[in-house]
Amino acid sequence: MPHDHSEPHSLLPSDPELRARALETILVQKGLVDPAALSALIDTYQNEIGPQNGAQVVARSWLDPAFKARLLADATSAIAELGFEGRQGEHMVAVENTPEMHNMVVCTLCSCYPWPVLGIPPAWYKSDEYRARAVKEPRAVLAEFGVALLAGQKVRVWDSSAEVRYLVLPMRPAGSEGLNEAALAALVSRNAMIGTALAGTA
Amino acid sequence: MTRAHDLGGRPAGDIPEKDDAVVFHVGWHAKALALNLACGALGAWNIDASRFAREQLRDYATLSYYEKWMAGLANLLVERGVVSEAELAGEVAKAPRSDKSLHAGDVPSAIRKVIPYLRSSGPAPHFQVGDRVRTVPAPGAGHCRLPAYAAGRVGTIILSHGNHVLPNSNARFQGENPQPLYTVEFTAAELWGEAAEATGDAMSLDLWQPYMRPA
């Protein structure tokens, strides 16, 4: 597009709230968007699809070795066993933290994220700062998040550059023996499944 | 080609709001996302085209995240002939509901529907797990998913995913052109040299066969 011609979006109000309203009005008037569908989409990602889904996957993997084996072999199918599948989770890979290896996930080019298990990515994951730094200085980033690595533990960063989506399986915390799936899931935060926290921490 | 979106490895400050649990901070964030999803259902573009529309924005570096989503959406609506510039400027006549519009009742199934990017067509894989490859010297023009920080670097294939839709051609509506997709592991030392934080740390990227050569 030549630089002497404005991009079409400049025809809309520049204030983002007014811009959203204008876009909605235009699209609804033209019969292209159903306002009730917008509400349903927002409600789904606000209330139904979120990190509680991924936490259930992780808790199940801690309790059921056969499930964990399936999850590491074919995460998309294993996660679908729990009913979580669809948009932005079409090709899942689960990566397991061990005393030797800590995994963390980023998307340096945009904001790719496993929606069916973690929902909509948080603002920090989409921030320029995380996208810029996670690949070059993951240890500094982890320290900033308060993650203490074990002695000798290596770090592996997964940059989601295609339609493959990564779920980190954090290590099961000591002292969690005997807890049921729901209690274990409560120990698994969103950040722990991105790799910027450990299980059992907020 | 500025690749303003290609942020990996650039210097940057502290990461904001690390414990934030709010899904949508203000109403227009939610609306910007939902409008993108609802318009995506119209079928006038694909996911690669929507990413390309955002990364081409002249004001990429200054627009906030959901401002990028709205600007990219508005540009795509016009470029694909779904909405005219006059309509975007506010001259909209009321029209009946399009058959293609996403209905509220179909939202749960639309979100959960699995539409894979894996294809049975395309070339045979040239590489297998364990092979050493060197990425091409620079990201190609247009929508290329090879980050600049990993261009011209040697890595090892650790996963092979079959043939996936190639973003480069799909983003320009030039066909899916499925190509073998691999996860390639690079050592931190290979990518960052003496600036690497620790020997033995690694980075992995998902890269299509045209992005690499035998090392």
Q: Which of A3, A86, A190 sits opposite B113 (nearest CB)?
A: A86
User: What's the rounded Cα separation, in Å, for the pair B104 and B107?
Assistant: 5
As for how many domains chain A has, the answer is: 2
Question: Which residues on chain A are in Cβ contact (under 8 Å) with B107?
Answer: 37, 40-41, 44
CA distance B150 to B9: 10
Residues of A with Cβ-Cβ distance to B207 under 8 angstroms: 161-162
Catalytic residue, chosen from A39, A77, A110, A127, is A110
**Closest C-alpha to A189, from A165, A178, A173:** A173
Are residues A76 and A127 located together in one domain of the fold? yes
Residues A78 and A103 occupy one common structural domain: yes
Residue B195 has pLDDT above 50, yes or no: yes
Q: Are residues A41 and A54 in the same domain?
A: no
- Domain span holding position A155: 50-194
Same-domain pairing of A71 and A24: no
Residue percentage of chain B with pLDDT more than 90: 90
Does A124 lie in the same domain as A143? yes
Residues above pLDDT 70, as percent of chain A: 97
Which class in CATH covers the domain with range B118-214? mainly beta
Residue A176 falls in the annotated catalytic set: no
CATH label of the domain that carries residue A124: 3.90.330.10
* Known active-site residue A110: yes
Contact A144 B104 (CB under 8 A): no
Half-sphere exposure of A63 (CA within 13 A, CB side): 15
Q: Do A161 and B205 touch (CB under 8 A)?
A: yes
**Both structure tokens of A162:** 């295609």
Active-site residue, from A6, A10, A39, A112: A112
DSSP state of B26: S
> Which residues from chain A sit within 8 angstroms of residue B102, using beta carbons?
33-34, 37
Q: Chain A residues with CB inside 8 Å of B90's CB?
A: 22, 26
A84: closest chain B residue by CA: B112
Query: Do the domain assignments include residue A2?
Result: no
CATH 2.30.30.50 intervals, chain B: 118-214
Same domain for A69 and A21, yes or no, is: no
Alpha-carbon gap: A65 to the closest alpha carbon of chain B (Å): 23
Q: What is the pLDDT of residue A202?
A: 40
Q: Residues with Cβ < 8 Å from B71, sequence gap 6 or more?
A: A7, A9, B54, B57, B59, B63
Helix intervals (H) in chain B: 27-40, 47-55, 65-79, 85-88, 107-112, 167-170, 188-192
Classify domain B27-112 by CATH architecture.
Answer: Orthogonal Bundle (1.10)
Q: Say whether pLDDT at B125 is over 50.
A: yes
Beta bridge partners of B202: A156, B187
Which of the residues in chain A have pLDDT under 70? 1-4, 201-202
CB crowding B172-211: b at 16 or more within 10 Å, else e: eeeebbbbbbbbbbbbbebbbeeebeeeebbbbbbbbbbb
Please report the pLDDT score of residue A201 as a whole number: 58
User: Which of chain B's residues have a Cβ under 8 Å away from the Cβ of A111?
Assistant: 65
C-alpha to C-alpha distance for A152 and A137, rounded to whole angstroms: 17
Kindly state the helix (H) or strand (E) to which residue A20 belongs, with its residue range: helix A16-29
pLDDT digits (tens, 9 = 90+) for A52-93: 999 999 999 999 999 999 999 999 999 999 999 999 999 999
Distance in Å, alpha carbon of B67 to nearest chain A alpha carbon: 7
In this complex, the residue of B16, B24, B102 whose CB is nearest that of residue A129 is B16
8 Å CB contact between B78 and B84 = yes
CB contact under 8 A, B112 and A116: yes
Q: Do residues A24 and A59 share a domain? A: no
Compute the distance between CA of residue B88 and CA of residue B75 in angstroms, rounded to an integer: 10
A77 interface with B at CB cutoff 8 Å: no
Query: Residue B117's pLDDT is what?
Result: 97
pLDDT number for residue B18: 87
- Say how far apart CA A70 and CA A72 lie, in whole Å: 6
Q: Is A107 within a domain? A: yes
B103 close to A (CB below 8 A): yes
Is residue A72 within 8 Å of A96, Cβ to Cβ?
Answer: yes
Residues B22-67: pLDDT tens digits? 999 999 999 999 999 999 999 999 999 999 999 999 999 999 999 9
* A168 and A76 part of one domain: yes
Residues A164, A68 within the same domain: yes
Percent of chain B topping pLDDT 70: 100
Question: Looking at A22-143, which runs of residues are DSSP E strands?
Answer: 91-96, 101-106
Cβ distance B16 to A127 less than 8 Å, yes or no, reads yes
**Lowest pLDDT segment from A36-50, B92-106, B175-189:** B92-106
A31 & A108 share domain:
no
Q: Rounded CA gap, B31 and B35, in Å?
A: 6
Check whether residue A162 and residue A76 sit in a common domain: yes
- Is A177 a domain residue? yes
> Are residues A75 and A26 part of one domain?
no
Catalytic, A107? Answer yes
